Amino acid sequence: MKPILLLTLALCLTHPLPVPAGGAVPEAEEGAVISEVTETGTAWSVADPQNPTGTLRNGQPVTQENVLALLAEAKRLWPDGMTWTYSSRVQSGNNVYGSDPETSIGAACVAGYQLSHEEACGAFAAMLSDYVFGPSANPARRLDDNTQVRPGDIVFRVNPDGAAAHVNIAMTTAHDQGGLPCIRTADGNVGGKVQWFDTVPNYPTRVNAEPRWPGESVRVIFTRYPE
């Protein structure tokens, strides 16, 4: 693995977040996220309280219940259907994540798989991860067993050549569906929109670590829960 990629994956840190277009940040989130309107749309960032590892961005301990509460807050900030895509595609009403892999664990993780940490699915996943776990606390580590996935984990869909095709955030633990472990997720850039799959009746995202047939993509999962 290239030295720069190793460094990027080792950093895996957090940054600032978004506010709905034309709206104010909910009171509970005052100061937690910053938005700046630019020529390519609204750039979001996440304030870094520099909490210690084992503590979420809001100061609460890292538990699944507390992670889900922060993801629910994030859903109000970046709601279902919100525009979220590449700046080259959408110049008006676009939303991006103004992150830096050197200061954001979420950004470093997605950049480690050659995905953008500022646009599209990579930026949305990085932003949600930082919003929950904080930009600089709770380092990311790869899961050895994908069935141990938990809400807030970063889930990459990786092609046989090792390149990531998509990334999203887990909203559930693994459930058996058709003989495979599957989860619900939160995604950016699904047809140019934010999409939350947390309430769909099924579990649409497979988390199999091994291909079922030659050429099938697999999931690689990073968690920021303490060991």
Nearest to 143 by CA among 133, 152, 131, 134: 152
3-class state of residue 222 by DSSP: strand
Q: What pLDDT was estimated at residue 168?
A: 98
Q: What distances in angstroms separate CA 124 from CA 17, 42, 203, one per listed residue? A: 10, 13, 20
**Taking the mean position of all CA atoms in its chain, how far away is CA 45?**
13
Predicted confidence at residue 88, as pLDDT, reads 66
Q: Has residue 26 got a pLDDT over 50? A: no
What is the per-residue pLDDT for 71?
98
| pLDDT tops 90 at residue 108 | yes
Q: What is the pLDDT of residue 91?
A: 58
Question: Which residue, among 158, 139, 119, 110, has the nearest Cα to 11 in the 3D structure?
Answer: 139
Average pLDDT over residues 115-120: 93
Of 72 and 1, which is predicted with more confidence? 72
The percentage of the chain sitting over the pLDDT mark of 90, rounded to a whole number, equals 76
Cα distance between residue 141 and residue 164, in whole Å: 17
Q: What's the pLDDT band for 94 if we cut at 50, 70, 90?
A: confident
pLDDT of residue 11: 36
The strand pair at 141-142 and 218-223 is best described as antiparallel
Note the pLDDT of residue 58.
Answer: 96
Inform me whether the pLDDT recorded for 7 exceeds 60: no
Least confident of 2-16, 35-49, 88-102, 187-201: 2-16
What is the C-alpha to C-alpha distance for residues 31 and 34, in angstroms, rounded to an integer? 7
Distances (CA, A) of 151 to 44, 63, 141, 224: 22, 9, 15, 10
CB-based contact 12:108 (threshold 8 Å): yes
Considering the entire predicted model, what is its pTM?
Answer: 0.86
| pLDDT for the residue numbered 93 | 75
> Span 108-127, mean pLDDT?
95
When the pLDDT of each residue in the chain is averaged and rounded to a whole number, the result is: 87
Which residues, in sequence order, are CB contacts of 76 under 8 Å at separation 6+? 26
Give CA torsion, residues 219, 46, 39, 120, to 10 deg: 10
